[in-house]
Chains A and B, each alone.
Chain A
């Protein structure tokens, strides 16, 4: 998998590439509009992560060029503005997703995984990990062909865990993913703990060969057991 990260902030760029490199992706970077323009004309990418505020141009123009070239790459827009206009404009121009800054790397990863999954869509819209199968259309979960009935939030949690398998997932990024803008709550963590505890018990019960592992003080990891 080849990813192009177009981002002018060095700190941000470094974190993103380091994260994806660790997951085994090939990461290329562009820090200016001109550089980005050159790269998208020369190479093909599976996914483009695009910051729309660049020092020498608007990222939305890159998006337009990609679409004009009929690029197959999935496109995620990053924006510090979190403005509705940008979001609507980006999505109408053909971006696949929009992520306002600041964001969790795990969240970005989950979005990239989802986009790549959609691009490599091969008829059955399913995610398989070990003996667990998630049907993304029906939102049903099977372990060894046996259906595992989960609540809405539990299903969302499981999908997030699968997308970020074998990587550390911080508690806050989990809460943010599940609650979005409503994560500012005292009991969102209590709730989360109880959901995770429950999900873990269910996966154990159904003898799934992947499960949630708690990492002291930090968060969780979805690992092969």
Chain B
């Protein structure tokens, strides 16, 4: 759930309950005030009527007065006592009365009280219309409801618009961070904002990424630097060993040892060169791209290996279904295909075959050979050697993979019926 929706949800729930409670409280307090007012009026009227009765007792039985807002009824002493005991200040009650003019029940407030006059007991009932008050109450209530709904809607819209605007820098930052890749050359630049929290967020994110980039870059360059530093000492060892070889007094057993040393120094220096190449590819030091005729390139790679192919008595078939042209660096293209072809020769059997089919969007290299002893999924990882062969660096296919990654080519491997198939999709 989006933060925007969550805040809106809680905000609306809160406002709705608040409004409802407020309406109820307002309604009841208004009602209470009105009733208090009416009851006060009734009490006042009672005093007034009682005063008139005490001045002129004849009025009690005056029928002409019955059409006004009160009536008097004679009661027994027992009833009088009982009433007075129960309602000392009179009994108030809501009642309805039929209005003939409008033909509907109308609300009234009724007050009952008792009094004595000349030793006789009477019950006085006074009424007051509540019509005006009720109408007022209803009108006010409707107004409040309308106003509340309007307020509610306004708050809702304002909330959405405002929050969306306020959170905009946040969403922008998120989308930028999402798109950002550490191995990109560019820095992460976030849009400026006036909101302190987001400013802080942006600063922290930028700083974090900048630091990570530094670490990433120094790690990337570490292998390259280390390999560089190793080149000269390796060269010196190689040359010193050579000078040892030229010693005229060398015995056969010494020569064997020297041969061993040479072989391993050679391997080390090859490994070093390959690692250097890998970091250079990853560090995008092969920047210049140009259109490459894939068919021509493959033919020329095969030509380079022709002596070896002949030596191993391999049957090389080139199936040209198309002549794709790919934009890439010429050196990397050559490294890519010569590595794959070399691999197909290296892991082949004597009198085996190599079939290279070139199609519009893909190149397939199929060769005979023994099944892999390693998991095909780890085939393209560094130092994943397929043989115990000490001449192999175990980096050939890692180079292939790195180049493919650089240009976004997809690469797949399968083994079926004693045939290794490697497919590159451009």
Chain A residues whose CB sits within 8 angstroms of the CB of B312 once the complex forms: 187
Is the beta-carbon distance between A170 and B273 smaller than 8 angstroms? no
Q: How far apart are the CA atoms of A18 and B392 in the complex, in Å? A: 32
Cβ-based interface call for B231 (8 A): yes
Cβ-based interface call for B270 (8 A): yes
Cβ-based interface call for A120 (8 A): no
CB A87 to nearest CB in B, in angstroms, measures: 11
Q: Which B255-313 residues have a C-beta within 8 angstroms of A?
A: 255-256, 258-259, 262-263, 266, 269-270, 273-274, 276, 280, 285-286, 304-308, 311-312
Is the beta-carbon distance between B239 and A183 smaller than 8 angstroms? no
Cβ-based interface call for B3 (8 A): no
Q: B-facing mask of A3-32, CB < 8 A → 1, else 0?
A: 000000101100110110010000000000
Chain B residues whose CB sits within 8 angstroms of the CB of A82 once the complex forms: 231, 273, 276
Q: Which of B228, B231, B234, B242 contacts A170 (CB 8 A)?
A: B242
Q: A-facing mask of B242-262, CB < 8 A → 1, else 0?
A: 110110001010011011001
Are A184 and B269 CB-contacts (below 8 A) given A11-B240, A101-B232, A101-B235?
no
Cβ-based interface call for A102 (8 A): yes
Is the beta-carbon distance between A191 and B273 smaller than 8 angstroms? no
Chain B residues whose CB sits within 8 angstroms of the CB of A152 once the complex forms: 306-307
Cβ-based interface call for B191 (8 A): no
Is the beta-carbon distance between B240 and A104 smaller than 8 angstroms? no
Is the beta-carbon distance between B269 and A185 smaller than 8 angstroms? no
Are A170 and B245 CB-contacts (below 8 A) given A182-B338, A186-B392, A216-B252?
yes
Chain B residues whose CB sits within 8 angstroms of the CB of A176 once the complex forms: 266
Q: How far apart are the CA atoms of A160 and B233 in the complex, in Å? A: 25
Are A11 and B273 CB-contacts (below 8 A) given A101-B231, A172-B262, A216-B252?
no
Chain B residues whose CB sits within 8 angstroms of the CB of A9 once the complex forms: 232, 236
Is the beta-carbon distance between B235 and A194 smaller than 8 angstroms? no
Closest to B236 in A: A11
Cβ-based interface call for A153 (8 A): yes
Chain A residues whose CB sits within 8 angstroms of the CB of B345 once the complex forms: 185
Is the beta-carbon distance between A184 and B391 smaller than 8 angstroms? yes
Are A172 and B236 CB-contacts (below 8 A) given A18-B243, A102-B231, A182-B338?
no
Q: Which of B269, B307, B338 contacts A102 (CB 8 A)?
A: B269
Q: How far apart are the CA atoms of A11 and B392 in the complex, in Å? A: 29
Q: Which A181-205 residues have a C-beta within 8 angstroms of B?
A: 181-191, 194-195
Are A186 and B276 CB-contacts (below 8 A) given A9-B236, A16-B239?
no
Q: Which of B232, B255, B269 contacts A218 (CB 8 A)?
A: B255
Cβ-based interface call for A215 (8 A): yes
Cβ-based interface call for A106 (8 A): yes
Cβ-based interface call for A39 (8 A): no
Residue from B240, B245, B258, B285 whose CB has the most chain A CB atoms within 10 Å:
B245
Q: How far apart are the CA atoms of A185 and B234 in the complex, in Å? A: 20
Q: A-facing mask of B148-175, CB < 8 A → 1, else 0?
A: 0000000000000000000000000000
Chain B residues whose CB sits within 8 angstroms of the CB of A173 once the complex forms: 242
Cβ-based interface call for A217 (8 A): yes
Chain B residues whose CB sits within 8 angstroms of the CB of A184 once the complex forms: 270, 274, 391-393, 396
Is the beta-carbon distance between A191 and B308 smaller than 8 angstroms? yes
Q: A-facing mask of B304-338, CB < 8 A → 1, else 0?
A: 11111001100000000000000000010001001
Cβ-based interface call for A93 (8 A): no
Are A218 and B258 CB-contacts (below 8 A) given A12-B232, A186-B392, A188-B391?
yes
Cβ-based interface call for B43 (8 A): no
Chain B residues whose CB sits within 8 angstroms of the CB of A188 once the complex forms: 308, 391
Is the beta-carbon distance between A81 and B228 smaller than 8 angstroms? yes
Closest to B250 in A: A218
Q: How far apart are the CA atoms of A9 and B240 in the complex, in Å? A: 13
Chain A residues whose CB sits within 8 angstroms of the CB of B7 once the complex forms: none
Cβ-based interface call for A42 (8 A): no
Q: A-facing mask of B87-101, CB < 8 A → 1, else 0?
A: 000000000000000
Cβ-based interface call for A83 (8 A): yes
Chain A residues whose CB sits within 8 angstroms of the CB of B233 once the complex forms: 11
Residue from A101, A173, A184, A194 whose CB has the most chain B CB atoms within 10 Å:
A184
Is the beta-carbon distance between B243 and A83 smaller than 8 angstroms? no
Q: How far apart are the CA atoms of A184 and B345 in the complex, in Å? A: 12
Is the beta-carbon distance between A102 and B308 smaller than 8 angstroms? no
Is the beta-carbon distance between A185 and B392 smaller than 8 angstroms? yes
Q: How far apart are the CA atoms of A105 and B262 in the complex, in Å? A: 13
Chain A residues whose CB sits within 8 angstroms of the CB of B269 once the complex forms: 102
* Further contacts, 12 of them, CB under 8 A, given A184-B396, A187-B311: A15-B243, A83-B280, A101-B231, A102-B231, A102-B238, A152-B307, A171-B262, A186-B389, A186-B391, A194-B311, A215-B255, A217-B255
Please name 9 pairs of A and B residues whose Cβ atoms are closer than 8 Å in the assembled complex, sorted by A: A9-B232, A12-B236, A15-B243, A82-B231, A151-B307, A152-B306, A170-B242, A190-B311, A217-B259
Interface residues in chain B, defined as those with a beta carbon under 8 Å from any beta carbon in chain A: 228, 231-240, 242-243, 245-246, 250, 252, 255-256, 258-259, 262-263, 266, 269-270, 273-274, 276, 280, 285-286, 304-308, 311-312, 331, 335, 338, 342, 345-346, 387, 389, 391-393, 396
Among all A-B residue pairs, the 5 with the closest Cβ atoms: A102-B235, A217-B255, A15-B239, A11-B236, A80-B231
